[in-house]
């Protein structure tokens, strides 16, 4: 959900060509699966295009390739660190760390509440875009 929301918000701000977004899993549980039906339905309801993809496993190389590696909660952040290594620790953050109220994203796998998850993700993606592009300009 976060990949599609972030890409959509960036595009709406005219920043689509300025960012590259890619989802990856830190565990093998969902490898090869498309986004959850609840995610697809929520994005459709909100008029946000789904970025079609299949879950892929995060790699150590991702730690070198990307400027930021964003997890949804502290457990996810630790799993990302385990994969990408200590040399990339400075790149690993949680999405809601960019907001005034850092916390874990509500996980619909456990709650079944895609509305709450969507609300958290909108808040986090909006704050992350503001961090990266204050006043529409790239952070230096």
Interval 106-131 mean pLDDT:
94
Domain count across the chain: 1
CA Rg, the chain, in Å? 14
Residue 140 has pLDDT above 60, yes or no: no
CA distances to 58, 73, 90 from 87, rounded to whole Å, are: 16, 20, 8
Least confident of 16-30, 32-46, 83-97: 16-30
Res 66: pLDDT: 94
CA–CA separation, 61 vs 48, rounded Å? 29
Res 34: pLDDT: 80
H helix and E strand count, the chain: 6, 2
Res 137: pLDDT: 56
CA–CA separation, 124 vs 4, rounded Å? 13
What CATH number is associated with residue 29?
3.40.50.2300
* Selection from 78, 131, 73, 68 nearest residue 102 by Cα: 73
Residue 112 has pLDDT above 80, yes or no: yes
Q: Give the model confidence (pLDDT) of 46-105 as tens digits.
A: 999 999 888 789 999 999 999 999 999 999 999 999 999 999 999 999 999 999 999 999
């Amino acid at each position: 959900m976060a990949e599609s929301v972030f890409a959509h918000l960036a595009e709406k701000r005219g920043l689509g060509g300025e960012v590259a977004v890619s989802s990856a899993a830190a565990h093998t549980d969902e490898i090869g699966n498309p986004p959850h039906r609840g995610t697809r339905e929520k994005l459709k309801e909100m008029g946000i295009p789904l970025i079609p993809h299949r879950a892929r496993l995060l790699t150590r190389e991702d730690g070198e390739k990307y400027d930021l590696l964003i997890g949804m909660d502290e457990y996810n952040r630790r799993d990302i660190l385990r994969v990408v290594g200590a040399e990339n620790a400075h790149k690993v953050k949680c999405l809601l760390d960019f907001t005034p109220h850092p916390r874990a994203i509500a996980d619909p796998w456990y709650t079944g509440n895609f509305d709450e998850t969507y609300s958290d993700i909108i808040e986090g993606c909006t704050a992350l875009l503001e961090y990266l592009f204050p006043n529409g300009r790239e952070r230096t």
